[in-house]
Amino acid sequence: MSGLFVSWGVPEQQVQLVVLLTLYGLVVLALLLVIVLVLRAKRRAPEPPLDATAPAAAEEPPAPVVETEVAEEEPEEKPEEKPLTPLERLRKGLAKTSSSLVGRIDTLLHGEAVIGAELLEELEEILITADVGVQTTMSIVEALEQRLGRDELKNVAQLRSALQEEVRSRLLGVSLDPVGGDMPYVVMVVGVNGVGKTTTIGKLAYQWQRQGRKVLLGAGDTFRAAAADQLEVWGDRAGAEVIRHAEGGDPGAVAFDAARAAVARKADVLILDTAGRLHTKVNLMEELKKVRRVLDREIPGAPHAVLLVLDATTGQNAVNQARQFNEAVTISGVALTKLDGTAKGGVVVALGGELGLPVCYVGVGEQAEDLRPFDADEFVTALFATEPSE
C-alpha cells in the first residue's frame, strides 16, 4: 500500500501518516454501515403475533339506558305583592326621617323616663338636629313646658301624644286643585337648579292628565342645556303638549306664547317651567317678576299658583331658599322632593312653623305616583309610625 501512495506522488516522509489516516477512515465507514443496517432491520421487524390461546374478548352489548322519570318541580307560586296604600307609600318614604327623629325620641322616652326639664332639653336637641329648625323647636318645647306646668304630661304616652299634636299644629297644607272656568289654571314653578323642578312638573302633568284635565307645558327654562328636551320627554309620557323656544331665548317670550296657546287650545292647566336660579341673585329673581307680569297680562290673575320646589336633603338651606323666593314672587306652596332619600324631613315642620308656607306635595319616590299631595294628619301618622285613628 505504501508503494501505491508513492506511485501517486505522496512523499515518502508522509506515506506512513497517509496510510494510518486511510485505515482510520475505512474503520469509521464500516461502523457507520453496520449501524445503518441494524436500524433498517429494526424498522422492518414484524410485530409479535397475538397470543392465539388468549380468548377473544367478547363484545358486550351496551347496557340499556334506564330512563328514570323525574317529577317536574312545579314552580313555587309567589304570593302577589299587594300595591302599597297611600299611607304605606308615605311611611316607606319617611323611613329615614322617622328612624332619625322618632327613633331617637322613642329611645329618649323609654318606660322609666322622668318627664321634666332635663328630658325636654334633650328632646329639643333631637328636634334641632332633625332640621325642624331652631325657632320651630323652641316653640314646640315651650308649648310642652306649659303643658308640663299644667300637669298634663304625667307619663311618656301623654308626652308623645302632646308632641305629635304640637308638630301637627305647625304643619300647613294646601292643594293645587285646578278649578274649572273660562281661563286656564296657571302654575308657575320656581326653584334653584337641581331640586327637581322639571321632574315635578312632569309628574303633576301626568297626574292631572289622568284626572281628565288637558295640560299644556311651557318650557320657560331656556338657559339650562336640554331643559326643554327633558320637559318634552315628560310631556310625551303625560300626553301633554310643550310650548318651547330655542335654547337661550327670552323666558318672557316663552311665557307669552304658552299663555296664548293655553287660551287658544282651551287647556285646563298651564304649567310653566322657569330657569333654576340662586335665591341670592337679584337679577334672576327680578326676571321671575317679569315672567309673572307677562302671564298676568295675557291671563288676568295668572299665575294662579307659584309652586316652589325644594330639595329635602338640603335641610335648613331649603328654608332659606323659601324665604328669599317668597319675598320675590310670593309663594303659594311648596313641593318638597327627595324626602325618601334623607333624614332631614323635619324641614317640613320648619316651613310651616317659621315661614307659614304650606306644603302642597312631597316626593317620596321616583314614580309619577310618588309625588303625593301633602296631608298633615297623614304625614304625622306616617312620621310617628302610628296607626291612624278610626
Q: Which residue has the higher pLDDT, 357 or 78?
A: 357
Q: Which residue has the higher pLDDT, 143 or 1?
A: 143
357, part of any domain: yes
Whether residue 13 is found in the same domain as residue 113: no
Q: Which residue has the higher pLDDT, 27 or 357?
A: 357
CA distance 339 to 348: 10
Supply the CATH number for residue 111's domain: 1.20.120.140
86, part of any domain: no
101, part of any domain: yes
Does the pLDDT of residue 10 top 60, yes or no? no
Does the pLDDT of residue 46 top 80, yes or no? no
Number of domains in the chain: 3
pLDDT at 148: 92
Whether residue 371 is found in the same domain as residue 250: yes
Q: How many CA atoms lie within 13 A of 233 on its CB side?
A: 7
324, part of any domain: yes
Instruction: Cell 327670552: give the residue.
Output: 250
78, part of any domain: no
Whether residue 347 is found in the same domain as residue 199: yes
Q: How confident is the model at residue 138 (pLDDT cuts 50, 70, 90)?
A: very high
Q: Which residue has the higher pLDDT, 76 or 309?
A: 309
Whether residue 258 is found in the same domain as residue 372: yes
pLDDT tens sequence across 67-94 = 455 454 554 555 566 777 766 777 777 7
Taking residues 33-39, report their average pLDDT: 79
Q: Which range among 13-17, 113-117, 148-152 shows the weakest confidence by mean pLDDT?
A: 13-17
Whether residue 146 is found in the same domain as residue 202: no
Whether residue 223 is found in the same domain as residue 163: no
213, part of any domain: yes
Taking residues 256-269, report their average pLDDT: 96
Does the pLDDT of residue 66 top 60, yes or no? no
CB 193 within 8 A of CB 164: no
Taking residues 157-174, report their average pLDDT: 90
Supply the CATH number for residue 356's domain: 3.40.50.300
Q: Where does a domain end: 169, 203, 225?
A: 169
Whether residue 139 is found in the same domain as residue 205: no
Domain residues for the domain of 243 are: 185-378
Q: Which range among 73-87, 93-107, 221-235, 310-324 shows the weakest confidence by mean pLDDT?
A: 73-87
Region for 338 from its dihedrals, namely left if φ exceeds 0, alpha if ψ lies in -120 to 50, beta otherwise:
left
Whether residue 268 is found in the same domain as residue 149: no
Q: Mean pLDDT over all residues of the chain?
A: 82
353, part of any domain: yes
Taking residues 171-198, report their average pLDDT: 84
pLDDT at 322: 93
Whether residue 108 is found in the same domain as residue 162: yes
Q: Which range among 88-102, 282-296, 361-375 shows the weakest confidence by mean pLDDT?
A: 88-102
Whether residue 224 is found in the same domain as residue 150: no
pLDDT at 259: 97
125, part of any domain: yes
Sheet holding 333-337, edge to edge: 241-243, 215-220, 269-274, 185-190, 305-311, 333-337, 359-363, 371-373
- pTM for the full model? 0.74
pLDDT at 225: 81
Q: Which cell goes with 155?
A: 307619663
pLDDT at 54: 46
Whether residue 230 is found in the same domain as residue 359: yes
Q: Where does a domain end: 169, 200, 223?
A: 169
CB 90 within 8 A of CB 372: yes
Q: How confident is the model at residue 390 (pLDDT cuts 50, 70, 90)?
A: very low
Taking residues 27-31, report their average pLDDT: 81
Does the pLDDT of residue 47 top 60, yes or no? no
Whether residue 160 is found in the same domain as residue 193: no
Q: What is the pairing mode between strands 359-363 and 371-373?
A: antiparallel
